[in-house]
Chain A
Amino acid sequence: MQPDPGGFAYASPDIEHLMARYQQADPVASAALIKLLSPQLYRFFAGPMGSKTDAEDMLQDAWLRIHRVRHTYRQGEPVLPWVYAIARCVRVDDYRKRHRIASRETCVDVLPEPSVSKDERACLPRFEELVAALPESQREVVTMLKVDGLSIEEVARAMSSTVGAVKQKAHRAYERLRKLLDQIAQPARKGAAQ
């Protein structure tokens, strides 16, 4: 999982300039900013295991909020934590909405488990599958650090948290991932020994 080299994580000064022009209602800068930031934000909303439609809805919602609070961006400050703080708020709201809807829904029947081929079982799980097993706050930290390429400082700002707390969450997430990887590797090792 690597940040996109062509993405905005490597072009912060330009983004700050675009953001300032967006505040001054420059249509070219606004369009460029949307084009530049959207793929990264979409990745943040889509992963892990998120659906494409949900991610597109959240992306739209995020831009609506960014547009509404664009006056709160201060020139000279980093844009990424500002944008991700808003994106995180959208994700939290979406999570709550989903939770509310799920609590009202009644399951009428037990759905059959999808059949999995032997080859698929043998494959190691993908990053998204393992990260989906983490608690929400740890998943958020790992996604921002490893998928979106933010620094610890930027993640702390985006989450309205401290650097120490983010490091602690990352450490817990890595420990959990190690355990999950261990659990997956053990049967494979036993099989190989037999």
Chain B
Amino acid sequence: MTCRDMDGIMSSHSGNSLLPPEAAEHIVGCERCRSLVRLLHETSEIPAPSESHLKRIQKGILENLRPVRPLPPSRIFLFSFALIFLSVVAVGAMRLGMNGWSVLSMEQKIAVFATLAASAVLLALSMVRQMVPGSKHGVSPTTLPIAILLVLILVIAAVFRSEEESAFVTNGLMCIRNGLEYSIPTALLFWMLLRRGAMLFPKLIGAAAGGFSGLIGLSVLEINCSNLNVYHILVWHWGVILITSLAGVVLGAVVEYVDRYRDQKNSF
């Protein structure tokens, strides 16, 4: 047994049970682990809150006690997110046209839309889990939006090639406007759904919601825009997700500030 194996045992081991025989054998021979185990099991004076303080908290809560309806199951929120995503993309495709879809090769369609779908599923799951404190996360909510942004860059760079383009900025501005036109209203819709949850870290939820609505804008653009220049897609299409994600973080920061102010006023 190594010191690293001991770490695993110490993490999963509750203080009042005996160590497994091999761990006990290890600490006999290893002074470093022995002193660490002694330190972690050291009993110290356990502080406790004062009775008067607890009574004040109890009084504050009992005064505002009303029955609440528990949050609906996660699948209902997931279904709502999926419905909004697909409806907005469908409306965008109908209104703006499907020129992009017709010029994409089969490989490009599979690579781009499979990545978009997978990213949307992951972000939707992350948002639903962030609504309920203490949920199980497959990927950390901090890492996920950044990872999705990076994966999208890689996929776009791998699938598309550089092409001649005469009006890079003019075309690009039109695309980014079209993308944001669909992303911003849906971001507000998502925000209204998310507000029903706990919102412990509004900036993280904001980044996920912004990223998710940005994916809608990107999907609309990939279906509509026939420009296959890799730089156009990287700057103006991918830029929609970047803008909406950052806007989500900023909105989250505002919500955090407002919540903090409200907490100061509402303390028991």
Contact = CB atoms under 8 A, between A and B. Distances in A.
B41 A1 contact: yes
A185 B268 CA distance: 47
Interface residues of B, number: 67
A174 B10 contact: yes
Contact of B61 (A4, A34, A185): A34
A40 to B, nearest CB: 10
Contacts, number: 193
A43 B53 CA distance: 15
Given A2-B43, A56-B49, A61-B267, A181 B36 contact: yes
A136 to B, nearest CB: 14
A74 B70 contact: yes
Nearest to A79: B134
Nearest to A32: B58
Given A5-B16, A146-B40, A160-B141, A89 B134 contact: no
Contact of A63 (B15, B57, B131, B140): B57
Given A27-B65, A35-B54, A82-B134, A152 B11 contact: yes
A81 B49 contact: no
Interface residues of A, number: 75
Given A69-B198, A149-B14, A157-B136, A55 B67 contact: no
A67 B197 CA distance: 13
B68 A23 contact: yes
A178 B43 contact: no
B44 A1 contact: yes
A34 B54 contact: yes
B43 A1 contact: yes
